[in-house]
Each structure stands twice: as C-alpha cells, then as structure tokens.
C-alpha cells in the first residue's frame, strides 16, 4: 500500500468552509434554537475543516499503520501478548451485559453476581487460594492491593514491618507497588543461574520484613525451583510471600502458587486469561489470598448464601482495607476472562501452559543453535532470554529490533531485564510455522550484521518514520525525526 510519508495532523489539513456533512436540516435548526445561548458552542480557533472523505481517509491511513496481535507475531516478553478469541468479544458485546449498570438493585443483577462469584471460584481453584477479590483493574493495581492487604494484616498484629524484599529477577512494577503501599523495597540479588541468592536473602530477612515479592516464573523466564524453601524462610520470620502472577500463563493447570507457599497473588486477566491488552487498558488484576488474609480484602465482596440457593449479595468485613475501585471491578474484562475459562476448561488450561512452555523452549534452542547466546541455558518456562553479543560490536539491540520490523515482526522486549538482550514470549497461540519464520528472520539478521550492517543501522526501511530521538521525543518542541525516503509502505 502507498502511504504519504509526511501524513499531516488532522489539524493541519483542510480549508476554511469545508464540512463533512451539510447540517442545514429543519430538525437541527429547531434544536439549535431550543438550546440556551450559554450551551451553544461558538467558533473554535484552529479546528480542522475537512470533508468527510478527507477525514475518513486520514484515520483509515493511521489505522493501517497500527501493529497488533491481529497483524503479526507479537512476542513481547514479560507481557503475554496472546490472541484474544473473538467469541469472548461477542459475548462481552451482548446487550444484556453492555447495558447492565452496577447501581441497579441487587435483586435485578443476580446473574451478574453469580458470574463474578463463579469466576472467583475458578480463580481460587487455579491458583490454590482461599478467596479472591475482582476489584483491581490492572496488574499493578492488584500488586498495590495485595500489599495493602498484607500491610493491614501486619498492623492488625500490632507490628510495624516496613520492608518488602524483591529479587532483581522480579517484574518491573514491583518496587513501585511496594512504595505506593507504604513499604521500602529492598533488592535481592540472583545467582548466575537466575535463582534467588540465599545468602543475600538470609542477610536481608529480619523481623522488619513484611513480605517478599517473587515473580514465578521470573522475568528471566525461569521457574524458581527453591520456592518452597523461600516460603518456609519467610513464614518462619512472620513475613508473607507474594506472587506476581503476571507469568501465570506458564503454570495454569499444572502448578498452583498457593501450593508453593504463596500467601497472595495477583492474576492479570489481560495476560493469562485472554482479554484485551495494551493501549493503556482495559485490564483487570484480581487478587487471591490465603485464609489469614481474607478479612482484609477490599469491599464489596460477593457472597453466595447457600441457605437460600441462588442468592448473591455484596458484603464487607470490618477489617477490610476499604474500596480500591468503584463497584466490582472491570466487569466486561472479567466477563471475557469468564468466557475464556469456561471455554478452555481444566484440560484446556493445562494445554495452554504446556504449549506456551514448549514454544518458548523451541525458540530458545533454535536461536541458540543459529548463533545467539542464551545467558541462562536451561529449560525456560513461558519466555526465553537471548543475547546478541556474538554479533559485531557496532550492532545494537535497537538495530536488530528495527530490522525485525522490515521482516514483518513486532520486536520482542529489548534491553530488559538485561542490557543487550531480547526477552521473547511466543505464547501458546502461535504455530510452529510462525516460530520458524521468526527464527529465519533472526538468522537473516545475523548474516546481515556481518555482510551488510548498514541494513541494520538504517532500519526500518518500510515505515514513514525511521527512528525517534529518544531524548527529543520527550521535548516536543525539539522533536527530531529521521524520515524514510521510501514511498511504498
């Protein structure tokens, strides 16, 4: 498709007097006269005046430049960007759900309460927890909620612990969440094989530690094999063990965090349970807890009264941390997760984890065999970490990422959690043919780095803008773009 490399902003297009639709109809004139003067909009300085075709074509061209999971392999490590079944979307768009309002009388929303209650029951079984709250509306929101629950439980004991231990292999949001919950984060180093360093843990673990946050599998794509020992160490000191469930996609149907010794977990609906992800939302981050922490869950909680079958009502507890969001969470996102879980079933969820782990290990071994270095060369879980330090020194991580765009792939996560790395998560939704095409592209880039490095340094070659100055990008007045001279995109 041919794109204009210098697509103008809509505010820069058009001519005075152009309109999209002629609105000189009688009804609109009557409506205009019916509006009080103070409610009528006057002229807008600088407002674009364009025809309807100009407007439609402009936004259509912009939409064709979007990259998403519907367009290409989207292997962002640490994020689980997998395909969302369209059936989930169809159900979430049913009139009975979209027109449901949380302020409606409880007696008129019993089926919605039942759905949420059943989702909680499924999450309890999947994660091995005693109770769940569906209120948090993002993964990091769930982290803060879980830590506030821990804080409330500690205060109820009459203690004032204020430290949270976080391995350097943890999810990147953990330290910020600890700070927001009123704790001081303390880094714990990991061993050369990616596991938690016990010497560092023992040194930091004292009576002032409230909890330890562990992402398991970690952001290195590895399972913490000593997790039971870590749990015992924390519990012996009266501290809690928190599981960042962002990588739960590798465990569903196979292993339960609650059985490993975790006391709290947040689950990312928009990662593991296939609801829309990206663009700032929507999301959902339900939090599961063990029995000791149940009284501190945020309200409202939905309870089923078995003495009166079929009755579901919102409840609270006097020890609750209070509201963390209006009403019951992000309902339509939770609905999509409910549909996904009912569709997959227990057997299907296990197959999800098995296929995700198989795909990641297939990439790990294949990319290692063609020349990329694997810093933790042992079986990984849902994602694999690779290094490009075998390529010529002048080739940067960004060069490889931009060249992948030329070959039709969204780049993986780069330079995180290690400098000079790619963190690749294929998920279970990708076929072997897709993975083979990605491996082929990575091999071609390896060869190009030796024989035609300029192809990488000047990539991408197919986009309207080559690269954005990372510093100037945060200073709009000084924005410096390298425009691509190619017309065909």
Full 3-state SS string of 93-144: CCHHHHCCCCCCCHHHCHHHHHHHHHHHHHHHHHHCCCEEECCCCCHHHHHH
Contact 241/261 with Cβ under 8 angstroms?
yes
- Residue 414 pairs in a beta bridge with 422
Exposure pattern of 100-111 as b/e (b: 16+ CB <10 Å)? beeeeeeeebee
Contact 214/246 with Cβ under 8 angstroms?
no
Q: Which of 174, 138, 75 is nearest to 275 (CA)?
A: 138
Token output for 432: 């072997």
Contact 249/219 with Cβ under 8 angstroms?
no
**pLDDT score of 472:** 73
Its sign, for the CA torsion 92, 59, 9, 50, is negative
Q: Which domains does the chain have, with CATH numbers?
A: 10-63 (no CATH), 86-344 (3.40.640.10), 352-482 (3.90.1150.10)
Contact 75/435 with Cβ under 8 angstroms?
no
**Residue 23, helix vs strand vs coil:** coil
Token output for 108: 């008129």
Helix (H) or strand (E) segment spanning residue 311 = strand 311-315
- Residue 314 pairs in a beta bridge with 302
Q: Which residues, at least 6 apart from 284, have a Cβ–Cβ distance to it below 8 Å?
A: 134, 136, 137, 138, 268, 269, 270, 275, 329, 330, 333, 334, 337
**pLDDT score of 462:** 87
Contact 396/449 with Cβ under 8 angstroms?
no
Contact 2/10 with Cβ under 8 angstroms?
no
Along the 489 residues of the chain, how does pLDDT read in single tens digits?
Answer: 445 557 888 888 888 888 877 555 545 555 556 678 787 777 778 888 899 999 999 999 888 887 888 889 999 998 888 888 999 999 999 999 999 998 999 899 999 999 999 999 999 999 999 999 999 999 999 999 999 999 999 999 999 999 999 999 998 899 999 999 999 999 999 999 999 999 999 999 999 999 999 999 999 999 999 999 999 999 999 999 999 999 999 999 999 999 999 999 999 998 999 887 765 567 899 999 999 999 999 999 999 988 777 789 888 888 999 999 988 899 999 999 999 999 999 999 999 999 999 999 999 999 999 999 999 999 999 999 999 999 999 999 999 999 999 999 999 999 999 999 999 999 999 999 999 999 999 999 999 999 999 999 999 998 878 888 777 766 655 555 555 654 433
Helix (H) or strand (E) segment spanning residue 267 = strand 264-267
Strands 184-188, 163-167: pairing is parallel
User: What's the CA gap between 277 and 281, in Å, rounded?
Assistant: 6
Greatest Cα pair distance in the chain: 80
The number of C-alpha atoms within 13 Å of 64 and in the hemisphere containing its C-beta is: 14
| DSSP-assigned letter for residue 292 | G
List phi, psi (to 5°) of 187.
-70, 140
Q: How far, CA to CA in Å, does 90 sit from each of 68, 84, 97, 330, 350?
A: 19, 11, 11, 17, 25
Q: How far, CA to CA in Å, does 190 sit from each of 165, 194, 198?
A: 12, 6, 8
Helix axes 331-369, 432-451, angle to 10 degrees: 50
**pLDDT score of 488:** 38
User: What's the CA gap between 232 and 262, in Å, rounded?
Assistant: 10
First-last CA distance in the chain: 6
**pLDDT score of 1:** 42
**pLDDT score of 37:** 78
Sheet strands side by side (includes 264-267): 131-133, 287-289, 264-267, 240-245, 209-215, 163-167, 184-188
Contact 143/172 with Cβ under 8 angstroms?
no
Token output for 94: 């049913």
**pLDDT score of 310:** 78
Strands 465-468, 184-188: pairing is unpaired
| DSSP-assigned letter for residue 85 | P
Cα 118 from chain centroid? 23
User: What's the CA gap between 356 and 413, in Å, rounded?
Assistant: 17
For tokens 């059936």, the residue is 87
- Residue 315 pairs in a beta bridge with 301
Token output for 155: 């205060």
């Amino acid at each position: 498709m041919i794109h204009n490399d210098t697509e103008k902003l809509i505010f820069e297009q058009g001519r005075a007097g152009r309109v999209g639709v002629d609105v000189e109809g009688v009804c609109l004139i009557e409506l205009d006269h019916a509006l009080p003067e103070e409610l009528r909009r006057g002229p807008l300085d600088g407002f674009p005046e364009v025809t309807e075709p100009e407007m439609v074509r402009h936004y259509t061209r912009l939409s064709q430049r979007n990259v998403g999971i519907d367009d290409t392999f989207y292997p962002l490590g640490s994020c689980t960007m997998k395909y969302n079944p369209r059936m989930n979307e169809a159900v979430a768009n049913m009139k009975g759900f979209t027109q449901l309002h949380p302020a409606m009388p409880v007696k008129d929303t019993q089926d919605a309460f039942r759905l949420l209650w059943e989702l909680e029951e499924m999450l309890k079984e999947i994660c091995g927890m005693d109770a769940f709250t569906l209120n948090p509306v993002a993964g990091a929101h769930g982290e803060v909620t879980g830590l506030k629950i821990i804080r409330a439980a500690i205060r109820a004991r009459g203690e004032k612990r204020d430290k949270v231990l976080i391995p350097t292999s943890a999810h990147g949001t953990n330290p910020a969440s600890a700070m927001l919950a009123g704790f001081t984060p303390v880094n714990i180093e990991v061993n050369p094989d990616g596991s938690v360093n016990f010497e560092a843990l023992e040194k930091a673990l004292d009576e002032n530690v409230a909890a330890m946050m562990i992402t398991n599998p970690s952001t290195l794509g590895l399972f913490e094999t000593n997790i039971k020992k870590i749990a015992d160490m924390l519990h012996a000191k009266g501290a809690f063990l928190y599981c960042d469930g962002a990588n739960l996609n590798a465990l569903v149907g196979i292993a339960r965090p609650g059985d490993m010794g975790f006391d709290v977990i947040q689950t990312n609906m928009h990662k593991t349970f296939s609801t829309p992800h990206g663009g700032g939302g929507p999301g959902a981050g339900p939090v599961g807890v063990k029995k000791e922490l149940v009284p501190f869950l945020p309200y409202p909680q939905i309870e089923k009264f078995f003495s009166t079958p079929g009755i579901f009502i919102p409840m609270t507890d006097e020890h609750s941390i209070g509201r963390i969001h209006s009403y019951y969470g992000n309902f339509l996102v939770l609905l999509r997760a409910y549909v996904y879980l009912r569709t997959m079933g227990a057997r299907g969820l296990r197959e999800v984890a098995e296929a995700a782990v198989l795909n990641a290990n297939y990439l790990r071994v294949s990319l290692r065999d063609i020349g990329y270095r694997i810093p933790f060369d042992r079986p990984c879980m849902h994602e694999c970490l690779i290094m490009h330090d075998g390529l010529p020194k002048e080739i940067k991580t960004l060069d490889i990422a931009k060249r992948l765009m030329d070959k039709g792939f969204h780049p993986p996560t780069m330079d995180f959690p290690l400098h000079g790395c790619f963190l690749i998560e294929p998920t279970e939704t990708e076929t072997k043919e897709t993975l083979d095409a990605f491996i082929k592209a990575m091999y071609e880039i390896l060869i190009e780095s030796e024989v035609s490095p300029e192809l990488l340094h000047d990539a991408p070659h197919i986009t309207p803008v080559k690269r954005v100055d990372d510093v100037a990008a945060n200073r709009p007045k000084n924005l410096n773009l390298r425009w691509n001279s190619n017309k065909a995109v």
